[in-house]
Amino acid sequence: MKKSSGGVVAAVRAAVVPVIEGLGYSVWDVEYVKEGADMYLRISIDRPDGITIDDCETVHRAIDPVLDEVDPIEEAYHLEVSSTGIERDLRTDAHFDACVGKEVEVRLYAPTDGAKSWTGILLPRGENGEIRLTVGETEKSFPRAAVAAAKTVFRFED
């Protein structure tokens, strides 16, 4: 029986998170997506002092045999292990919670107060899971279902 994308992600997470954490890294995200004719399993890793290409290779080599053994994916796929990057996508509650106090950009499906994009300092989520920002002197709150995308913002210093 073919697993859904969510089922694949859950199975992969269960198999690889202990291995990756045992190497001293954390897992930021696991995605299983189709691009063109190809399927990609993307695992984003992080650690406090940053990620190098050698770290990605170390994790790739460590989880490849685990994935072969568990075999959570029926079709052929490409395994990619990468850093979260300077600007990281915020997709889960844990992502939003981890970035409280950081500058983020929130893009909405429909305009709120005349804008579809808001940039500000991320506040803790509201009691109903709303995404909250301080924009200048104003607090903005967006229902989670209204948020199309969100990411941290990195500003290069002169």
Nearest to 6 by CA among 121, 92, 88: 92
Q: Which CATH number fits domain 93-152: 3.30.70.380, 3.30.300.10, 2.40.50.140, 2.30.30.100?
A: 2.30.30.100
Q: Where do the structural domains in the chain lie, given as residue ranges?
A: 5-83, 93-152
Residue 50 φ/ψ, nearest 5 degrees: 90, 175
Contact call for residues 59 and 20 (beta carbons, < 8 A): yes
The yes/no answer on whether domain 5-83 falls in CATH 2.40.100.10 is no
- Its pTM stands at 0.77
In the predicted model, what is the mean pLDDT of the chain?
92
Convert the pLDDT of each residue in 75-129 to its tens digit.
999 999 999 888 889 988 988 999 999 999 999 999 999 999 999 999 999 999 9
Other Cβ atoms closer than 10 A to 121: 17
